[in-house]
Amino acid sequence: MKRPPKHAPRRIESTDDLRSFQRMMATAVTRPLTAEDKLQPKWIDGRPMDEVASEFVKPNDRLSSFERLQLYNKMYWFRLFDAIQDDCPGLQAALGDRVFWRLAQAYLAECPSRSFTLRDLCSRLVPFIRRNPRLTAPRTALAVEIARFEWAQTVAFDGESRPVLGTADLAGTPPGRLRLGLQPYLTLLDLRHPIDTYVISVKRRDAMRSEASNTPDATASVGRAARRPSLPRPARTFVAVHRHHNRLFYKRLNPAAYRILDALSHGSTLSRAVAAAGPKVKAAQVRSWFTTWMALGWFCARGNKRRASAS
């Protein structure tokens, strides 16, 4: 967004005036809150914020211009915090509320929303955590994996779907020349922890807590439901995050199966991808895997698309 004008227009008499007003308003609403969750007391040029607010926000009989603008500023940021919390329940559970909110505030300050949809809000969270390990220490490695997994869920939920390849589409090309694409909504994850089962346990805990809180005389049930799931212990885990019939799924993968799909996602021919599985893999296993993957609709024509493997 371009830098706003020094002063808001006195009247809206042209599209340029409207654009100037919009930039003033957008800049004011999206400025980070103070440590006390309030509107910044000074404008970007150092002028008192109440003076600047009075140029383009009218007071009423209850609130000053500053106070009215502050309401919009706080609503904007609290909505973003709610969105991050909704998208990252596993990360919040692993880090704890205090560390999670510190991370969210720092992330939004450095990576503010630039999209028309909140769907993209956490798209830069993984590289941000890697660049700022102090914010999640000593659980940075775990935080990165959980953030990768939870972003993969967002991609799976509403990522692009391409026409599915069937057996007839594959029959005419030799394996040594055949290259298969993976659906853009499919993400392959090579993890050092069983993040899938951990996130499932967090969501189950949250669902139980919500159900218990709506039950009369459920104090004991709420206490049991609110217990934080144990952090996952290290265990190499291969997972495909995908959707099927418009529902989100996590599918565990055999290491050899993962290597095949990963090779395909990087452009290998079918024969090279199968060879990447290793010499100990039986042909019957490979046939079984491909039968399942075809039934799930994972294969599509290759094109210019996001790689299946998450960063």
Query: Do 168 and 82 sit in the same domain of this protein?
Result: no
Confidence (pLDDT) at 82: 95
Binning the chain into helix, strand and coil, the percentages to the nearest 5 are: 50, 10, 40
Rounded to the nearest angstrom, the gap between the alpha carbon of residue 24 and the centroid of all alpha carbons in its chain is 29
Instruction: Assign 307 a pLDDT band (cuts: 50, 70, 90).
Output: very low
Overall average pLDDT of the 206-221 stretch: 61
Query: Do 125 and 142 sit in the same domain of this protein?
Result: yes
Query: Do 171 and 276 sit in the same domain of this protein?
Result: yes
For residue 299, give both structure tokens.
Answer: 């294969």
| Residue 243, domain CATH | 3.90.930
- CA–CA separation, 208 vs 205, rounded Å? 5
Residue 124 DSSP SS3:
coil
Q: Give the domain extent around 203.
A: 195-231
113-170 pLDDT, tens digit each: 888 999 999 999 999 999 999 999 999 999 999 999 999 999 999 999 999 999 888 8
The residue from 174, 207, 231 where one domain ends is: 231
Residue 251 DSSP SS3:
strand
Query: Do 131 and 63 sit in the same domain of this protein?
Result: no
Confidence check: pLDDT of 218 > 60: no
Confidence (pLDDT) at 175: 93
Instruction: Assign 297 a pLDDT band (cuts: 50, 70, 90).
Output: very high
Query: Do 211 and 250 sit in the same domain of this protein?
Result: no
Query: Do 207 and 303 sit in the same domain of this protein?
Result: no
Burial letters for 20-39: b for 16+ Cβ neighbours within 10 Å, e otherwise? bbebbbebbbbbebeeeeeb
Query: Do 205 and 268 sit in the same domain of this protein?
Result: no
Confidence (pLDDT) at 227: 74
User: Does this model's pTM top 0.75?
Assistant: yes
Query: Do 108 and 59 sit in the same domain of this protein?
Result: no
Query: Do 170 and 245 sit in the same domain of this protein?
Result: yes
Instruction: Assign 310 a pLDDT band (cuts: 50, 70, 90).
Output: very low
Number of independent structural domains in the chain:
4
> Which one has a higher pLDDT value, 167 or 294?
294
The residue from 31, 59, 87 where one domain ends is: 87
